[in-house]
A = this chain, B = another copy of it.
């Protein structure tokens, strides 16, 4: 039996999940792999609170530095979160030639390049499956099973809180704010909820996926981000009537050598697999040039699911250490190039759902259609509904493919038309072509 000794930094929700996972299945892991994982140290500022798992108190320390300096520890597991202390500790661990496992998406999205380069120059590895899609082995699939593929596109539902809110809006036809408040009460959404509902968390994960797919560290600034805050229930209902569902979708793809990375509420055809992903589940749809379409689905967060991914990484990191394998693919894949070419958001070509409010008089729609035509935007369908009180009627349009810059210019003009009522709403439609 071979042994690897790990030190855990941060004994919060995920830390407790990792400990519980090893307590439940440590023997099974040994039988399967021939490797015994020993939790040698756990560092946290709070070593008093009950985490719901029983551990030997002598493993606990408030001194993280003592863990990363311990020559007996092979693998450091960073579960502190955030981008300040976590960054220092991860970099120090790598410089101490520890293998490092982390679940910290913000850290990798914001300081990935520095971290990957530090790992490379010290001949060690960093493993971060839990940072994207929680328990779903999606990064591992990309860097192992699909290693022979040029990645054409990735579509991800990567934030469980947003997907939970959207699913409930769809089922209950209640306004965003009501569902958000209830989600906070039930612990499905944090307070403040900004990182989730403004799309930042999804963007962190999108940036990591894009780095792996296209082989260079991707800065957060390369990602166009629109969250779901304030999404009207009307859009959910209208989408449903058109056989679509609205999801907060990360889209990563390469078009003629330029990479698009965007996060926005998107209409998805109901019959598409990814439209069936409901509640707090996550899914990542990956299209490779050899393998064609694949999808990976599961729990994107939570103590045990995230712990499952961390445990998988610990075994890989430990096994690489035992084999003396050197810098792993999880590092080399991110550093193939220094930088990528990005597709400017105004050049992105996509289909749109539009909801306009037009004064119900002869010629209103004709004026709008003329503006659209002037901007080379053609319509796939137009539905004018019964008018509301006050004489305005909602008009729902689905466009054919159009350039974002053209659509923005058209909306500017439509907003200025005298027949225009409430602010126009535009959402992306994705057909997965």
Q: A: which residues have CB within 8 A of B? A: 17, 21-22, 24-25, 28-29, 31-34, 129, 135-137, 140-141, 143-150, 215, 271, 273, 276-277, 281, 288-299, 302, 304-305, 307-309, 311-312, 315-316, 319, 323-325, 329, 332-333, 336
> How far is A297 from B276 in the complex, measured between Cα atoms in Å?
13
Residue on B nearest A289 in the bound complex, by CB: B24
Max chain B Cβ within 10 angstroms of own Cβ: one of A28, A33, A294? A294
Pair A315/B147 contact, Cβ less than 8 Å: yes
Contacts of A289 in B (CB 8 A): 24-25
Contacts of A147 in B (CB 8 A): 29, 32-33, 311-312, 315
Residue on B nearest A325 in the bound complex, by CB: B323
> How far is A234 from B309 in the complex, measured between Cα atoms in Å?
44
Pair B299/A296 contact, Cβ less than 8 Å: no
Pair A290/B276 contact, Cβ less than 8 Å: no
Residue on B nearest A130 in the bound complex, by CB: B145
Pair A149/B308 contact, Cβ less than 8 Å: yes
Pair A308/B137 contact, Cβ less than 8 Å: no
Distance from A255 Cβ to chain B, minimum over Cβ atoms (Å): 17
How many copies of this chain does the complex contain? 2
Pair A290/B305 contact, Cβ less than 8 Å: yes
Instruction: A129-B145, A295-B295, A295-B296 are known; give 8 further A-B pairs, CB within 8 A.
Output: A24-B290, A25-B150, A32-B333, A140-B145, A148-B307, A273-B276, A295-B297, A296-B296
Contacts of A319 in B (CB 8 A): 325
The contact of A329 among B32, B296, B304, B308, by CB within 8 Å, is: B32
Pair B32/A336 contact, Cβ less than 8 Å: yes
Pair A148/B290 contact, Cβ less than 8 Å: no
A25-B144 contact given A290-B308, A292-B305, A293-B298, CB 8 Å threshold: no
> How far is A332 from B315 in the complex, measured between Cα atoms in Å?
14
Pair A22/B148 contact, Cβ less than 8 Å: yes
Distance from A351 Cβ to chain B, minimum over Cβ atoms (Å): 22
A290-B307 contact given A29-B148, A32-B215, A150-B25, CB 8 Å threshold: yes
28 inter-chain pairs at a CB distance below 8 angstroms, sorted by A residue, are A21-B290, A24-B150, A25-B150, A32-B147, A32-B336, A135-B290, A135-B291, A135-B292, A136-B294, A137-B137, A137-B294, A140-B144, A141-B296, A144-B315, A145-B308, A271-B276, A273-B276, A290-B307, A290-B308, A291-B298, A291-B308, A292-B305, A294-B296, A294-B299, A295-B296, A295-B297, A295-B298, A323-B323
